[in-house]
């Protein structure tokens, strides 16, 4: 499996159109503790989803270990994930880095297994 991380900052967004049509799924990572940027993340995500209505979507609500982080249900609402299409496979995971960063949390192992399953069945 190959992964391509393009990045979400403004200078990298022009590359999205080049790679999205050939992707098997989209993994979208959002900082769950950065409430101010969630509207921008929502806008970008929905623009990406319009380009390929059948593309499976995996969303990582990162930094769940921070006190300010929105819970995944709040992220679901903030990103309006109920509007990405009823035919689309959609998965939302709360993620965080472990204390020393060396062990893989159960959630990330589950996400890894799901991504491998989605990629092999696309």
Convert the pLDDT of each residue in 56-86 to its tens digit.
Answer: 899 999 999 899 999 999 999 999 999 987 7
Q: Inform me whether the pLDDT recorded for 18 exceeds 80.
A: no
> What six digits make up the tokens of 99?
């204390």
Q: Inform me whether the pLDDT recorded for 33 exceeds 90.
A: yes
CA 66 to the chain's CA centroid: 18
Domains of the chain: 10-120 (3.40.50.300)
**Of residues 117 and 20, which shows the higher confidence score?**
117
Supply the DSSP string of 7-66, one letter for each residue.
Answer: --SGGGGGGHHHHGGG-S-EEEEEETT-GGGHHHHHHHHHHHHHH-TT--EEEEEE-TTS
- Global confidence as pTM: 0.83
């Amino acid at each position: 499996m190959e992964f391509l991380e393009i990045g979400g900052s403004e200078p990298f967004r022009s590359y999205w159109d080049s790679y999205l049509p050939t992707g098997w799924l989209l993994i979208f990572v959002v900082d769950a503790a950065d409430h101010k940027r969630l509207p921008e993340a929502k806008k970008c995500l929905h623009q990406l989803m319009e380009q390929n209505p059948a593309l499976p979507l995996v969303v990582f609500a990162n930094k769940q270990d921070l006190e300010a982080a929105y819970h995944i249900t709040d992220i679901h609402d903030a990103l309006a994930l109920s509007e990405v299409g009823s035919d689309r496979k959609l998965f939302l995971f709360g993620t965080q880095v472990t204390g020393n960063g060396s062990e893989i949390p159960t959630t990330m192992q589950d996400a890894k297994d799901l991504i491998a399953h989605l990629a092999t069945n696309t």
